[in-house]
Amino acid sequence: MGGAAGQSGFASQIQEVGPRDGFQIIERFIPTEIKLETIDLLVKAGLSKIQITSFVSPKAVPQMSDAAEVTRVCLERYPDSLLFALVPNLRGARGAVEAGLREVAVVLSLSESHNKANVGKSVAESVEETKRIRETFPDLRIAQDIATAFGCPFEGKMELPPLMELIHQLSDIGIGEFTLCDTVGTAHPTQVKTVFETVGAAFPGAVFNVHIHDTRNMGMLNTYIAMKHGAKGLQSSAGGLGGCPFAPGASGNTATEDLVYMLREEGFDTGVDFGRLLDAARFLKRHVQGNYSGHHIMIEEQE
């Protein structure tokens, strides 16, 4: 595999976020064993970087109340995998560190209204929170998730200058990795290209990842465009499960198996076994009732 179409090596990295982004919107509690079995299949398919859970208030997101248990088991089982969790604040970061994680994604939103709905703070307060996390855990690897980086369910299209300003502020407090999230799937290819080109040129030492929701059927294209313009981590979700409980109308992420299929056909060796990954997505669909946007699992249904 790899190089079939004459493409050079795969410079990006697929980051599976299904066990967090996919599961968080499922209302009915998914038994911890099902979560662990899903993660196991994803690891066996060759996904080396996985967002396994989030450390959030169990009152706000009861689905993630087993975060410490999921983390403990995964760290024990997969010492060689890059496992990380989403956290909204210092309290969450502390939970993640105490559970043994060495990397977190800290989330804030570019738009004030979504940040308020999602984490209950102003954007400035969230930047302060990231700073506290940075200072409290100097050895913790932090990627800053910037939700609604392209568009907001309440404020519409987001512009580049405030995004640049936010990245600037975060860089000043020592953050060097950013995940630009199209939380509600409104981004379009030219916008994605412009954003990645601009931030890449302005912050040459920083790492930028992409996280796209497929709400308007542009997930795959936008992810591909981001990759072509420097995105390192390509975040996606097995089965295309996903959404934001605090973003009305948000639907699933770009499906990991669809993304892996496309990249394989384009000649990139992602290190992921498409067949085994499809099995993982099928397992998920059998055991967790949800809104799946993945195309390969739909083909399966028709056959």
User: Contact residues for Zn ion (CB under 5 A)?
Assistant: 21
- 248 is written with which tokens? 């009305």
Closest approach of Zn ion to the CB of residue 250, in Å: 7
Return d(Cα 65, Cα 94) in angstroms, integer. 15
Query: Could you give the 3-state DSSP secondary structure of residue 203?
Result: coil
Site of tokens 């950013």: 178
Closest approach of Zn ion to the CB of residue 248, in Å: 14
Closest approach of Zn ion to the CB of residue 253, in Å: 6
Return d(Cα 250, Cα 233) in angstroms, integer. 21
Query: 18 or 268: whose CB is closer to Zn ion?
Result: 18
Active site residue 181: no
| Residue of closest CB approach to Zn ion | 21
Return d(Cα 181, Cα 211) in angstroms, integer. 5
Report the candidate in 253, 214, 283 with the shortest Cα–Cα distance to residue 14: 253
Return d(Cα 47, Cα 235) in angstroms, integer. 11
* E-state strands within 183-254: 207-212, 233-236
Closest approach of Zn ion to the CB of residue 95, in Å: 20
Query: 21 or 257: whose CB is closer to Zn ion?
Result: 21
Query: 21 or 129: whose CB is closer to Zn ion?
Result: 21
Return d(Cα 170, Cα 123) in angstroms, integer. 11
- 282 is written with which tokens? 């099928």
Closest approach of Zn ion to the CB of residue 147, in Å: 7
Sign of CA dihedral 6, 10, 12, 14: positive
Query: 96 or 184: whose CB is closer to Zn ion?
Result: 184
Report the candidate in 214, 111, 108 with the shortest Cα–Cα distance to residue 153: 111
Cβ(261)–Cβ(296) below 8 Å: yes
Return d(Cα 34, Cα 68) in angstroms, integer. 15
Cβ(23)–Cβ(31) below 8 Å: no
Site of tokens 């009305």: 248
Query: 21 or 258: whose CB is closer to Zn ion?
Result: 21
Closest approach of Zn ion to the CB of residue 50, in Å: 15
> Active-site residues: which are they?
244
